[in-house]
Structure 1
Amino acid sequence: MDSTQFKRHRRLRRSANLRSMVRETHLRAEDFIYPLFIVEGENRKNEVSSMPGVFQISLDLLKRELDEIVSLGIKSVILFGVPEEKDDCGSGAYHNHGIVQEATREVKKHHPDLLVVADTCLCEYTDHGHCGLVENGQVLNDASLALLVKTAISQAEAGADIIAPSNMMDGFVSAIRKGLDEAGFEDIPIMSYAVKYSSAFYGPFRDAANSTPQFGDRKTYQMDPANRMEALREAQSDIEEGADFLIVKPALSYLDIIRDVKNSFNVPMVAYNVSGEYSLIKAAALNGWVDEKAVAMEMLTSIKRAGADLIITYFAKDAAKWIKESN
């Protein structure tokens, strides 16, 4: 056949080195933000039953975990607190000696260059499990903002490098930006959970963070999974209010949204590869149904290819090891 009649694309696939030479998307350890669940007490390292390989860790064991993270080349962690006591206003979220605040100080004591992203929400600290104040069964928007501001300021005072509000209250970025600036933290960036869907993929996280709502659901403040254009409106609002990063959550079922947001806004794009996405692969791998490394790395590559500059993922340590082994 006359070879001028078609293109020989396979020429660039003939060997591993050729494929590597022309590869368009690359994963690096520094692309990952590793989530940590911090619990009160001592000598506690509890594996999350629905998330194999993920643990709730007490402060006295945190250094060992941090040493491993840093040794793998991971540059940032995001902290979630799992307090012993909860109340109706989530006061543990903004207490100066709250679990995330103390964990932040512990990170900075041992590894001052490791970036701390503080998840800024109330759901892990409220006895009703919602992300804001509740009155007559309704989650209050404006009244919740003041508590989120207090939380962000207390986290910044503890040494957090980045504030990541995840509550999806309207105006949360504007309120937190104003509060941080007035408290003297104008240089602390906000990594906004700008596009957060009301997703069934969050189930295992709620086991890890003990944050399941005690009534109803979060559909009145998190986004409908069927909506695409609404994501751009949410992201636009957060940019106008002062967000420095934008998060899309979940990642794998929302790759189109990641690309839309990346194409529309010139700020660092973050994707949250959530617990359900992690657990599906882990469960299948434990049953011998899939090759865990191959599937996980393909998934992470797809998220990066879709437009994510950074990926919050429970696979961070595993992926960093696999990347190191391949180099």
Structure 2
Amino acid sequence: MMFKLLPILFASAYAELSEKDPRCRFRLHYPGASWHTAYDVCAKENKTLARVSFEKLNIMGMVLEEVNQLTTDILNELGETDAMWIRGFSRPSNNESMDENCRSIDPTIGINVRNTEEPGIFCLYYNKTDKKLHTGSCTSSKPFLCERKTQDREDCYVTSVLSTLKNEQPIFISTHQPTLENISNEIECKKECATKCYGFIYKSSEKNCSTYSFKKEYIYNINETVNNPSTELQHKAIFIYNSESYPESNPKPLNDWCPEMTKEVVQQKIEKMKESLLVKKKETSRYNRTLTSAPDPRQSAKNLGLVGVTVICVVVALIILPDYINLYRKCQSKTKRHRD
């Protein structure tokens, strides 16, 4: 019952993405790419492909719905949002599903594993139509969902130069509504872009706010600046459509992700575990305490320390002073002889 209510609860939240919304930890990438390319693109952004869990299946669906709203369903009509790569792959030979660290994925989530006897691995993707997880050829092209590695909230807006964003046929970034005048600051402009607007440009000198969205045709506005490739557009980070395809990454075989458990591999893992568990004697706090004194803020302790330093200095002086006097006398004697 709870999972049926989650889409309803998230729907209202997605209608207005706040500046630091926790769901902005996700970013849906276009155009499509292979699973391995998607994995590398997420890694370059210090992210990972979206992790698999019951709760995130609902969020994945909400991300797709939000993207459809922001792009006025254009991408959906083009068939680009039916599925998206997420983190993990499966081995059809034993119906085992795992992430890239070879940790098994909860089998109760339900993954429609491809029924085949082909060797190798198949990668996971989320399907919008049935809202379930499936496996498919890792080399096929699909949009992909990146997720921040930590739980820190991420800004829902980023700034991109227009030339890096999709702004040509069959879709354009164009005027969402007439330019708003007398907008006092950028925050107010951002509020005007809270619902279906994809991005905005605020001109502080003119105090006006222009909002933009994806459309099938370019709409000219007398105040339009978004047709200039060097224009900087602040837009929602929940998805991004790059103007160029991503550089293709080479597929990695299963053994590169999960090496076969030979005696050599097991021994290497044991050695690494030993190294990580071994405590170096000279790096322990106990050893460090033998080299440093514990601080004592009491005045009596300070006085005792001063007395100790004084005694040591007096003893050293009594030892050195006779030698210093003799040296001084010899220097005087030599100087006198030199004068004579």
Which is higher, the Rg of structure 1 or of structure 2?
A: 2
TM-score (normalised: structure 2): 0.22
Higher helix residue share? 1
Higher relative strand content: 2
Normalised to the residue count of structure 1, the TM-score between the two structures is 0.23
Larger RCO (CA under 8 A, 6+ residues apart): 2
